[in-house]
Amino acid sequence: MSEEKEITIYDIAKHLNISATTVSRGLKDHPSINIRTRKKIAEAARQLGYRSNTFASSLRSRRTQTLGVIVPRLNSSFMSAVLAGMENAASREGYNLIIAQSLEQANKEMENAETMFNKRVDGLLVSLAYGTESIQHFDIFFNKKIPVIFFDRVAAHPDGANVVIDNYGAAYQVTRHLIQQGCKRIMHLGGNTLLNVYADRLRGYKQALADHKLPFDEKLVLNGNLTEEWGTEAAQYILQFKAKERPDAVFSANDTAAVYCMIALKAAGIKIPQDIAFAGFNNDPISKVIEPNLTTVNYPGYSMGQAAVTSLANHLNGNTDINATNTIVLRSELIIRDSSLKNK
Amino acid sequence: MSEEKEITIYDIAKHLNISATTVSRGLKDHPSINIRTRKKIAEAARQLGYRSNTFASSLRSRRTQTLGVIVPRLNSSFMSAVLAGMENAASREGYNLIIAQSLEQANKEMENAETMFNKRVDGLLVSLAYGTESIQHFDIFFNKKIPVIFFDRVAAHPDGANVVIDNYGAAYQVTRHLIQQGCKRIMHLGGNTLLNVYADRLRGYKQALADHKLPFDEKLVLNGNLTEEWGTEAAQYILQFKAKERPDAVFSANDTAAVYCMIALKAAGIKIPQDIAFAGFNNDPISKVIEPNLTTVNYPGYSMGQAAVTSLANHLNGNTDINATNTIVLRSELIIRDSSLKNK
């Protein structure tokens, strides 16, 4: 490997026949060094392969300009939008991102947290795993006053800040829209209600029913992992109802389950939206391709990533205190498409 | 921020009333320290908020156990699969990933490379930007013998290794499949041919035509950015042909352009595959949702990410020399679906 000698400012000084102090100042763009010299120094540094000593300066400043990101899974349409937004803000603010995935497992999330801690990240951004029931493993950060921001799947903590959308409100809007289309037996396909996002969507669904004097029926709520396969199985569950008791609408907590449920129902001769209206959540690319196009909630992943990093950076730069803010709620938006328009 | 005193092994020693040497050995799981004591030391370390001094040890070993990843865009279905595979392998091999996106711009890619260099990554993984015409900005790595692996969008370099699929072969297979379905005027929707992936797909398409004695017609090749909007425009181009001269098949270099071209053609009354057969590339989630389902090439992003990190780690651990390997070609696979089956 790299057995070569590390280039220092003394090598640059010798190469240019100037003092090391001048080189050091020149590399920092110090105004006392004239522009031409600064340029010469920068060129020599590049040519010789000088690496600015971020290590040593990290030891001095106790800052690494690095943020840790722990997410359940990297390969989802939503998470890739979040990451893109985070990288955009981090690069603007002069931070680097270190990423890790928990694969929905609490113990992997604990390992990730410990690694990030030892890597001395300046701050941590976390979306919690399915399996996480306690957030004690982040205490090492809280104890050291290293800021932690939870996003999307969050947990309440007096020292942590949250970046979320109003899941309750969005679900309420979706359900009300289906009710306004004349639907009376609305099914909800939900996720793990230990997680705020799914618990809040279920709550919004229930409240909209109650506010419109529709009875809540436990048989019309199915919770699962919201995958393609599970969405297909949900269609089989729906087809088992007697014709009169069959749901006339489905509100799914994500687009994947909604789309694969639709595909299976269509194959069984069900007409959408005439027989069963559909709405999903996320505004994934597939929602614009399924026929009929899927009504859904636009979940601003890119903005969420940007907001999380920007508020972390503001806190680190001493501009704002995230403990004072605590929760940032981003605007989501109901997108109405043909899958739910019964009266078109 | 973190103004507190950093916890050292001396603090742990004092807390437990044992020697610092014992603590140091205990933290390294040294066999001379008995298990109960090791456990007590580990507990105290956690409780006091001790951070293993990876900085200092990096300075000594000149290794940071960090790999840099530079990609054109984080928010694509393909890239999120690549990243998930990379994280999986990196976590197994004890490396962390720092990520950056070039946003398809050469100058942003240069900045990213410089940042990664100053962060002292042990190795670099790069998929090149649209705008990149020279790879000189990676010389700082080559000069220091820091290994660089290009993946997907690659460049030839004597010291760099490449991880790719056989784009030429896959495109040849797709085109031959369309020919075998009886198609004679096959259109190609392609990307920027400065990039190996698109140049190779075009080459495979041309060779398949030649081998089957079909003329190559420049009017049947359209190059662009392969976005949703561009795919929709490509449909307008196709509709301008006189009926007799209209293509009877389309092979698109990605699924996005194929799917949006299909949607626009269907809206104009074209029957797929009867009037025009379709094939895409990538096996994105939308390819399984469009009707009819899209024939495509399964691009193993997850495996590509794993392979790139694993071979980088092997090289860094001295197990293999990537300069000797130079190119790893992963298996891709033609997935035939209804969009291309004229004779079903």
pLDDT at residue B52 is higher than 80? no
Which residues of chain B lie closer than 8 angstroms to A263, CB-CB?
Answer: 289
Question: Do B199 and B262 lie in a common domain?
Answer: yes
User: Is the peptide bond prior to B215 cis by the omega test (within 30 degrees of 0)?
Assistant: no
Q: Which of B74, B146, B289 lies nearest to residue A259, judging by beta carbons?
A: B289
Cβ contact A99–B80 (<8 Å): no
Nearest in space to B284 (alpha carbons), one of B311, B307, B258:
B258
Does B87 touch chain A if contact means CB atoms closer than 8 Å?
A: yes
Amino acid at A243: A
Same domain? For A189 and A157 the reply is no
The answer to whether B59 contacts chain A (CB < 8 Å) is yes
Q: Is residue A133 over pLDDT 70?
A: yes
Among candidates A119, A145, A302 on the partner chain, residue whose Cβ is nearest the Cβ of B2: A145
**Within a domain: A58:** no
Residue B52 sits at the chain A interface (C-beta within 8 Å): yes
Residue B57 domain flag: no
Q: Same domain, yes or no, for B241 and B266?
A: yes
Give the total residue count for chain A: 344
Contact A98 B100 (CB under 8 A): no
Shared domain for A173 and A94, answered yes or no, is no
Clarify whether residues A184 and A257 are in a common domain: yes
Average pLDDT over residues A106-116: 94
Q: What CATH number is attached to the domain comprising A19?
A: 1.10.260.40
**Which residues of chain A from 303 to 322 reach within 8 Å of chain B, CB to CB?**
316, 318
Same structural domain for residues B254 and B310?
no
B51, B84, B318 member nearest A73 (Cβ): B84
Whether residues A195 and A266 fall in one domain: yes
Nearest to A51 among B1, B2, B118 (CB): B118
Q: How many CB atoms lie within 10 A of CB B85?
A: 23
Highest mean pLDDT among A20-29, B249-258, B325-334: B249-258
Residue among A2, A288, A316 with most chain B CBs within 10 A, to mutate: A2
Token pair, residue B343, equals 């004779």
As a whole-number percent, the residues of chain A with pLDDT over 70 amount to 95
Rounded distance between C-alpha atoms, residue B206 and residue B217, angstroms: 10
H-type helices in chain A, by residue range? 9-16, 20-27, 35-48, 54-61, 77-93, 106-118, 139-143, 167-180, 196-211, 228-239, 255-267, 301-316, 322-325
Is-contact A296 A256, C-beta < 8 A?
Answer: no
More confident site: B3 or B75:
B75
B2 in a structural domain: no
DSSP 8-class letter at A149? E
Residue A213: give the domain boundaries: 167-299+334-340
**CB within 8 A of A34, min separation 6: which ones?**
none
Q: How confident is the model over A184-215, as pLDDT tens digits? A: 999 999 998 888 999 999 999 999 999 999 99
Q: Do A273 and A195 belong to one domain? A: yes
Neighboring chain B residues of A52 at a CB cutoff of 8 Å: 118
Radius of gyration of chain B (CA): 26
Would A3 be classed as within a structural domain? no
Q: Please check whether residue B73 touches A, CB under 8 A.
A: yes
At residue B1, does pLDDT exceed 70?
A: no
Name the nearest CA neighbour of A14 among A44, A57, A42.
A44
CA distance A77 to B288: 15
Is residue B77 within 8 angstroms of chain A, CB to CB? Answer: yes
Report if residue A1 sits inside a domain: no
Q: Are residues B105 and B227 in the same domain?
A: no
pLDDT at res. B48: 83
Q: CA-CA distance, B200 to B212, in Å (whole number)?
A: 18
Q: Is residue B97 predicted with pLDDT exceeding 60?
A: yes
Axis crossing angle, helix B20-27 with helix B35-48, rounded to the nearest 10: 90
Which residues on chain B are in Cβ contact (under 8 Å) with A2? 62, 144-146
pLDDT digits (tens, 9 = 90+) for B254-270: 999 999 999 999 999 99
Listed residue (B186, B171, B206) closest to B250, CA to CA: B186
Report whether B73 contacts A84 (CB < 8 A): yes
B120 and A CB contact within 8 Å? yes
In order, the DSSP letters of A31-86 are TTS-HHHHHHHHHHHHHHT----HHHHHHHHS---EEEEEES-S-SHHHHHHHHHH
Whether residues B275 and B185 share a domain: the answer is yes
Which ipTM score applies to this complex? 0.81
pLDDT in tens, B132-150: 888 999 999 999 899 999 9
Give the one of B52, B81, B98 whose C-beta lies nearest to A118's C-beta: B52
Any domain includes B293: yes
The pLDDT value recorded for residue B245 is 94
The most confident of the ranges A152-156, A166-170, B315-319 is: A166-170
**Chain-chain contact of B289 with A289 (C-beta, under 8 angstroms):** yes
Portion of chain A with pLDDT greater than 90, in percent: 69
Give B118→chain A minimum CA distance, Å: 5
Q: How many CB pairs under 8 A join A and B?
A: 139
Q: Is A220 within a domain?
A: yes
A295 and A172 assigned to the same domain: yes
Whether B117 sits inside 8 A of A51 (CB atoms) is yes
**A96: closest chain B residue by CA:** B98
Q: What is the pLDDT of residue B3?
A: 43
The answer to whether residues B273 and B256 touch, using CB atoms and an 8 Å cutoff, is: no
* Neighboring chain A residues of B303 at a CB cutoff of 8 Å: none
Chain B residue numbers with beta carbons less than 8 Å from the beta carbon of A100 are 87, 91, 96-97
**CA-atom Rg of chain A in angstroms:** 26
User: Nearest-CA residue of chain B relative to A100?
Assistant: B87
Predicted pLDDT of residue B320: 76
Provide the chain B residues 244-273 that lie in CB contact (below 8 A) with chain A. Answer: 256, 259, 263
In a domain, A2, yes or no: no
B84/A101 CB distance under 8 A: yes
CB atoms within 10 A of CB A208: 22
Q: Which residues contact A14 (CB under 8 A, 6 or more apart)?
A: none
Q: Which residues from B are below 8 Å from A284, CB to CB?
A: 285
Number of domains in chain B: 3
Judging contacts by C-beta atoms under 8 Å, the chain A residues touching residue B91 are 100-101
Min Cα separation A8/chain B (Å): 13
Considering the domain architecture, whether residues B320 and B200 belong to the same structural domain is answered as: no
Q: Give yes or no for residue B194 having a pLDDT over 90.
A: no
pLDDT at B56 > cutoff 80: no
Tell me the CATH number at B111: 3.40.50.2300
pLDDT in tens, B160-179: 899 999 999 999 999 999 99
Asked if A5 has any chain B CB less than 8 Å from its own CB, the reply is no
Cβ contacts of A12 within 8 Å, gap of 6 or more: A23, A41, A44, A45, A48, A50
Q: Please give the order of strands across the beta sheet that includes B249-252.
A: B221-223, B186-190, B249-252, B277-279
E-assigned strand segments in A237-294: 249-252, 277-279
Kindly tell me if the per-residue pLDDT of B46 is higher than 90. Answer: no
Q: Using the beta-carbon criterion (under 8 Å), do A87 and B66 form an inter-chain contact?
A: no
